[in-house]
Structure 1
């Protein structure tokens, strides 16, 4: 089986989790983003040490942290958004000689080894493998070659990525993976993560509960 380069995009923690701004302070959102990022790096470092990883970010703090986990790093100023950063990362991946690329976000609540293995195995049958997010987004994208399609992250990105593959007559597989479908964007997502892994997410339990209580009180 051909091994991909795993690409993990990570924006500056100070800009992360904006959709939680009504429920968490700037400090809480920043610490949540960094905790999830470190959890992601540790997961791949532990379970897939034979697969090379690239972190692309506008944050020098993030890139320095990534290096401590033995990953490659790439600076992107963020001016072209997520899709621009991924296009830049894809150029690095191709230049490094990889024939596959797996994009994984840094904010999945629970990463599961068997789910990632399913993704990797699916690349033997399809040029484009999409792990669906709960809201129709793309929570993992495995492409062979790395630039098989243009990146179209945003609203309903899974359908956009699939449509590109179809238009280019490339084989495409969409996977519904229970853990990988849950990233943390909204208060409901964080509530689920707290219930599933209370020890990991206990730091944000009280701030979120207080915010939701006030929201209900004044509704």
Structure 2
């Protein structure tokens, strides 16, 4: 089974793009609720080696934080890494099973977000490619390019639970209407 790393901005910095509709306290609460959901889902999927990788302070850099985590788990002997973003409130254990199953076909599995970003990666070994998150370009395609550059044809997993992250006020409004657990944020809908 892979070692799981869940990248997460520090709570005070999380979900900054929602500032027009949520105050700092609301953004922290939402980020924590989604992180908790992702962690519970990973455990329900039978994964036990789970870490949260969070940047320190205001200079958090997702690529640096994830690279550091990948190197650390590889140095500890892990041969497979599953990165799952912390803002996936629709994630379920079948989504995780689909990622792991796809890992039988390729050493690089990419879960593409609805906007072309990357919401999860399964990598064998953990440092097989350079990360390209948050580059203001669709990172799923960039991760695929990086995989091909090292001779690996990646597999894409496209499932609603992996594609639907919460980045914009419209995403949040949809989440509030979809899930009773998020109705506390209904004032933004």
Could you tell me the TM-score, scaled by structure 1's length? 0.81
TM-superposed CA distance for 1:51, in Å, is 3.4
TM-superposed CA distance for 1:92, in Å, is 1.2
TM-superposed CA distance for 1:119, in Å, is 0.5
Give yes or no for contact 2:13–2:58 (8 Å, CA) kept in 1: no
Give yes or no for contact 2:108–2:122 (8 Å, CA) kept in 1: yes
Please show how residues 26-175 of structure 1 align to structure 2 within 5 Å: 26-48=24-46, 50-58=47-55, 79=59, 81-154=61-134, 155-175=137-157
Count of residue pairs the alignment pairs up:
187
Give yes or no for contact 2:42–2:96 (8 Å, CA) kept in 1: no
Give yes or no for contact 1:57–1:78 (8 Å, CA) kept in 2: no
Could you tell me the TM-score, scaled by structure 2's length? 0.93
Task: Give ranges in structure 2 of 5+ residues lacking alignment.
Answer: none
Write out per-residue CA displacement over residues 78-109 of structure 1, whole angstroms, 9 at most, x where no aligned residue. 74600000011011110121111010011102
Counterpart Cα distance in 2 of 1:118 and 1:46: 14
Give yes or no for contact 2:45–2:94 (8 Å, CA) kept in 1: no
Give the aligned CA root-mean-square deviation in angstroms.
1.4
TM-superposed CA distance for 1:171, in Å, is 2.4
Please show how residues 14-25 of structure 1 align to structure 2 within 5 Å: 14-25=12-23
Q: Which has the larger radius of gyration?
A: 1
Q: Is 1:203 aligned to residue 164 of structure 2?
A: no
TM-superposed CA distance for 1:121, in Å, is 0.8
Task: Give ranges in structure 1 of 5+ residues lacking alignment.
Answer: 59-75, 210-219
Q: Which residue of 1 aligns with 2:164?
A: 182
Counterpart Cα distance in 1 of 2:112 and 2:87: 14
